[in-house]
Structure 1
Amino acid sequence: MATLPKALLWQRTDTTGTDLALVDDRRGLHARGVATATDPIPFVCRYELVTDETWSTAHLDVSVEGAGWLRTLRLERAAGRWRVTTAEQGDLDRVLTQAGHAPAGLPGTEEPDRLHGAIDVDLAGAPLPNTLPIRRLGLLDAPAGTSHKLTMAWVLVPSLEVLPSDQVYSVVDERTIRFDIDGFGADLAVDQEGYVLTYPGLAARKA
């Protein structure tokens, strides 16, 4: 396994947890991350994200594990189409209902064609994927007011259900990108490489 030269660490602000991503961005992005959270139940999320040189997603591998259960997901994109592979051990839905939460539902998607048109992935609770459209579309160098409406392959955590998600990225200034989804909006503070420094209501960079 190749080593990765950069480390980015976020502290969750919406729940107790952290997200550590090791990245190599010399030719597109190769990242491996480990995230922890306590909401809705304690779990650890491990992911590997690879793009091509244009920062278009090639594949995303995710595993989410808690007490007595484990789910895995692989998303692969080739020739504009997505392939989705999942597996499950234990019973996440039972654990959630015992803790007083609604069932999570099945991982993956039964209709991968619904993801047609998506180039980027979005992993719930992880700030790293926000960098994909920022870099792919050159938003760091775009004038204020530049806006793009995108369809994302949105991975819910901890269920690993995959949904198409319409999102809008807009340039506020050279270090602020506006993110909007379904009536929710946030001004993302980013560094000179497009990695999130502050995601209001979700996470803040510590390293």
Structure 2
Amino acid sequence: MSLLPHSLFWQRKDTAGSEHTLLDATNGLYARGTALAVDPIPYTCRYELRTDPGWVTAHFDVATEGAGWARTLRLELAAGTWRATTAEQGNLDAVLSAAGHAGAGLPGLEDPDLLYGAFDVDLTGSPLTNTLPVRRLGLHRPAADGVGVAHRLNVAWVLLPSLEVVQADQIYTALGEGRVRFANETFSADLAIDEDGFVVDYPGLAERVGDPHPKRPS
């Protein structure tokens, strides 16, 4: 396993949890990370993410695990088409039901055609994946005429802990001065980002803590 030069750590605000990512952003993004949360049930999520040099997602490997269950997902984007490969052990539905929650969807992607035109993945509760459209669209360093312009995106949203992949409509708007507005049909938040486009503060979800990186990622 290759060593990676930079580290980011976020503390969750909405639930007990955190995310730690090791990354290299010198030619697109390569990242390996671990996310922990207790909602809706305690789980560990480990992922590996790679984009092309233009920050378009190329592959996303995710594994989730909790007491009595485990799931894996591999998402790949090639020639405009998304492909999902999944595996499952144990019974996550039973664990969720025992905890008083609704059952989980199956891991993976039911209809790849719904993701036509999608270039980004969005992992539930992960500030790292918000950086993908920010960098791909250059929203961290917008030109003067780009501030305030809304970009409507089709996104592959990976739900945790189930690893179900659903289509999501999202809007990103550069506000300037290190801020980007994220919105969907029911929610909006102004994200604070650093000069490289990585989230520093996501109101209501997570904030970055510790030394973000001894040297700039890019």
Asked if Structure 1 and Structure 2 have the same fold, meaning a TM-score greater than 0.5 normalized by the shorter chain, the answer is yes
Q: Does 1:183 align with 2:203?
A: no
8 Å contact kept, 1:141–1:174:
no
The percent identity for this pair of structures is 60
Partner of 1:195: 198
| TM-score normalised by structure 1 residue count | 0.98
Aligned length: 207
Provide the C-alpha distance between the structure 2 equivalents of 1:79 and 1:40, rounded to a whole number of angstroms.
36
Task: Check the 8 A contact 2:140/2:193 in 1, yes or no.
Answer: no
Q: Which aligned segments of 4 or more residues in structure 1 are displaced greater than 4 angstroms?
A: none
Take 1:175 and 1:89, find their aligned partners in 2: how far apart are those partners?
A: 43
Structure 1 residue 146: deviation in Å? 2.2
Distance 1:184 1:69 in 2: 31
Q: CA offsets per residue over residues 110-146 of structure 1, 9 Å max, x none?
A: 2111111100000001000111111111112213212
Return the alpha-carbon distance in structure 1 between the equivalents of residues 141 and 106 of structure 2.
40
Deviations 1:148-186 (A, max 9, x none): 100000000001110111100001113000000122000
Structure with more contact order per residue of length (Cα contacts < 8 Å, sep ≥ 6): 2
SS in 1 for 2:102: coil
Once the two structures are overlaid, the 10-residue window that deviates more, 100-109 or 51-60, is 100-109
> Per-residue CA shift, 1:90-122, capped at 9, x if unaligned?
000000000001001211122111111100000
In structure 1, the partner of 2:163 is 160
Instruction: State the Cα distance separating 1:85 from its structure 2 match.
Output: 0.6
Q: Alignment RMSD, CA only?
A: 0.7
Structure 2 unaligned residues grouped into runs of 5+? 211-218
Q: Does 1:59 align with 2:59?
A: yes
Q: Which moved more, 1:53-62 or 1:133-142?
A: 133-142
Q: Hey, what's the Cα distance between the residues in 1 that align with 2:5 and 2:37?
A: 25
Q: Distance in 1 between matches of 2:112 and 2:140?
A: 31
Q: Does 1:136 align with 2:139?
A: no
